[in-house]
Amino acid sequence: MAAARSAQDPGAPAAARKRAQELRAEIVEHNRRYYDEDAPTVSDAEYDALFRELEALEAGHPSLVTPDSPTQRVGGRRAAQFAPVRHRLPMLSIQTETETTIDGAYTFDARMRRELGLGPGDPPVEYMAELKFDGLAMSLRYERGELRVAATRGDGETGEDVTANVRTIREVPQKLKGRAPPVLEVRGEIYMTRSDFAALNERQEEQGLRPYVNPRNTAAGAVRQLDPSMTAQRPLRFFAYGIGEVEGWELPASQSALLEALDAFGQPVNRDRRLARGGEELAKFYRAVEARRDDLPFEIDGVVYKVDSLALQQQLGFRTREPRWAIAHKFPPEEIPTRLLAIDVQVGRTGAITPVARVEPVFVGGTTVTNVTLHNEDEIRRRDLMIGDTVIVRRAGDVIPQVVRALPERRPPDARPFVMPKRCPECDSAIVRLEGEVIARCTGGLVCPAQRKAALLHFASRRAMDIEGLGDKLVDQLVDGGLVRTPADLYTLGIAKLAALERMADRSAANVVEAIERSKSTTLQRFVYALGIRHVGESTARDLARHFGGLDALMDADEAALLEVADVGPVLAQSIARFFVEPHNREGVERLRAAGVHWPAHAPQPREGAGVLAGMTLVLTGTLPTLSRDEAKAMIEAAGGKAAGSVSAKTSYVVAGDEAGGKLDKARSLGIPVIDEDGLKALIARGGDGA
């Protein structure tokens, strides 16, 4: 399958190597967003395309395969707060059929016949055709019929122990019905129905909270809540579709019989499944399900075909990441034509002007779309979009909708091009687009209510000051009503002022006031991030806090002093220095401090010579038992060391975990000391080398 798709092969190995590296980094990042943050930024189709391109590259140039390539492992990793659960039988993924046309069904059947050595005269292969539920994979371990452990997939080998949370899900039986075997691991998917999701979002909105993005991420987020009572408030459901480890139970002969057995044990098994004989019947199932897709009570992103006979499954066996006997056949992303009625502009926190297409409402990919962001002026030109055009809107799974293209043959004579307005629709300040920049900006700064609102939302956001309950609606009311102009004004709000707002109950007002009060006790890093200085994200805020130790030193730093901070370049240094030179920004900061916002003081840790690992370069390889790669990297960097990607003579230590590959070999051949996770911790605790 690897080479089936024409990935653009750059030919020259150097180019291929570079591309493979880029793809790996990109895929790892998407895995992180998907699994760790439950907030993917690309569609499954885009992700699959990247993955297949990498597979094809590696197939064409086997020397490019690295042991840590995402093609060699199932994506994802564990969160640190849940206990790890080692899956005794790995939780595998399924290969995705590349064709999102009906051909996928025939291709799969043809491949199965070939691999089973069947000729044209042999009878059709029987398959179990199921829905591909779009949720979170779960392994439920029953011992003597009692639910003992519920674990997420994690990286496929080790997942997270979410038993307490899963016990709150009514559809997951605590006990198996009938004569349960000593050990039975049930595998399936946690999901949320569309209507439960809609009701949940209605409640969110009533409380002035931000709506959830989609059922999948909401379900995944709920399962990984630290507090089971939070999970209990989310309407989660479960479908069983397979098994993991079993003991003392004679396996049924087929997937269909297995599903029936699971049903008899009291597990929820979806009835929308069919025994299909041959490719033709798979195709029929695919078409039928695709036609009904939007009428299903929950979201699916395709169908799954499994060779029905377990004996044949065994004969077909596994590849590294997935069984050979199953395939996910996805549906193409929905693309629907509609009319582009107007292009308005929106003003972001930094004044960035984003053109937004207003389209005639269309139902696509499970939601009604009326607004679609068009990113910037150049993008509109590139796609040759004109107001009045018929455009194709696409929404794949959980991703934000896009305008794919216009249909020029349906362009009305009165279609007009988009013209970037000269003045900000919110504050009438000039809009400028600087030489060489793609983004146009409102120059109004905090005079502009749109920028003020966005700045407040950023200030209150979870990773900044974390003021729960201060959402879009409330901020609109506060700014429009003149109650709040800057973040410091938030700290002057009392219950009375808030409760006087429309749709605000005393109870909610009290909650918001309490959340604001709580936010006073924070960290310097969060505070710096909350200020919303252009280009200063969380990691820069962390570096700044660490480097300067206190706010005054940071506020007084000039560009030269800022350039001393690790990873701060000229653009950032200029942006930070300019921010703190502005009198109104300094005043805002002082007002916040006067309001009681505070954080623990700590000693500055300037870059040079600090940290027990200063001057050392460490290389991580393989999977560490408790630390994720990012955590280990952060630990090394916090101790002043450098975490590098490849082993060289300059490497001080290689930190190796399970399945360490080439880097470990190289370290040994160069005679570089190899330590494990405990060794790393000890090294840091001991205070570096000779200490």
**Residues within the interface to ligand IVH (CB under 6 A):** 92-94, 130, 132-133, 137, 189, 241-242, 304, 323, 326, 328
| 18 assigned to active site | no
CB of 395 to ligand IVH, least distance (A): 20
Cβ neighbours of 83 (radius 10 Å): 12
Give whichever of 188 and 588 is closer to ligand IVH, judged by the CB atom.
Answer: 188
Give whichever of 57 and 326 is closer to ligand IVH, judged by the CB atom.
Answer: 326
CB of 44 to ligand IVH, least distance (A): 10
Contact 32, 15 (CB under 8 A): no
- d(C-alpha 198, C-alpha 668), whole Å: 56
Give whichever of 73 and 132 is closer to ligand IVH, judged by the CB atom.
Answer: 132
Q: Residue 630: what residue type?
A: D
C-alpha distance from residue 29 to each of 84, 92, 142, 155 (Å) = 22, 20, 34, 14
CA-based nearest residue to 173, from 269, 82, 272: 269
- d(C-alpha 200, C-alpha 500), whole Å: 26
Give whichever of 302 and 640 is closer to ligand IVH, judged by the CB atom.
Answer: 302
Contact 380, 387 (CB under 8 A): no
Contact 511, 568 (CB under 8 A): no
Give whichever of 32 and 132 is closer to ligand IVH, judged by the CB atom.
Answer: 132
Q: Which two tokens stand for residue 253?
A: 């002969």
Give whichever of 35 and 527 is closer to ligand IVH, judged by the CB atom.
Answer: 35
Burial zone of 545 (CB within 10 Å; 0-12 exposed, 13-18 middle, 19+ buried): buried
Give whichever of 333 and 640 is closer to ligand IVH, judged by the CB atom.
Answer: 333
State the sign of the Cα–Cα–Cα–Cα dihedral 4, 10, 14, 20. Answer: negative
- d(C-alpha 623, C-alpha 629), whole Å: 8
Q: Which two tokens stand for residue 88?
A: 């005794």
Q: Which residues contact 314 (CB under 8 A, 6 or more apart)?
A: none
Element (H, E) at 304: strand 300-307
Choosing from 132, 330, 642, 663, the catalytic residue is 132
SS3 helix, strand, coil % of the chain, rounded to 5? 40, 20, 40
CB of 291 to ligand IVH, least distance (A): 19
Cβ neighbours of 445 (radius 10 Å): 17
Q: Which residue's C-beta sits nearest to ligand IVH?
A: 137
Q: Which residues contact 653 (CB under 8 A, 6 or more apart)?
A: 616, 618, 619, 672, 673, 674, 675, 679, 680, 683
Give whichever of 98 and 461 is closer to ligand IVH, judged by the CB atom.
Answer: 98
Could you give the maximum distance between any two Cα atoms of the chain, in Å?
85
What letter would DSSP give residue 32?
A: I
Cβ neighbours of 262 (radius 10 Å): 23
CB of 367 to ligand IVH, least distance (A): 21
CB of 338 to ligand IVH, least distance (A): 30
CB of 31 to ligand IVH, least distance (A): 13
Question: Which residue, chain included where needed, has tokens 């059929």?
Answer: 97
CA-based nearest residue to 624, from 574, 664, 669, 568: 664
Give whichever of 92 and 513 is closer to ligand IVH, judged by the CB atom.
Answer: 92
What letter would DSSP give residue 83?
A: P
- d(C-alpha 609, C-alpha 191), whole Å: 51
Contact 16, 110 (CB under 8 A): no
Give whichever of 5 and 411 is closer to ligand IVH, judged by the CB atom.
Answer: 5
- d(C-alpha 96, C-alpha 329), whole Å: 6
State the sign of the Cα–Cα–Cα–Cα dihedral 221, 46, 133, 628. Answer: negative
Active-site residue set: 132
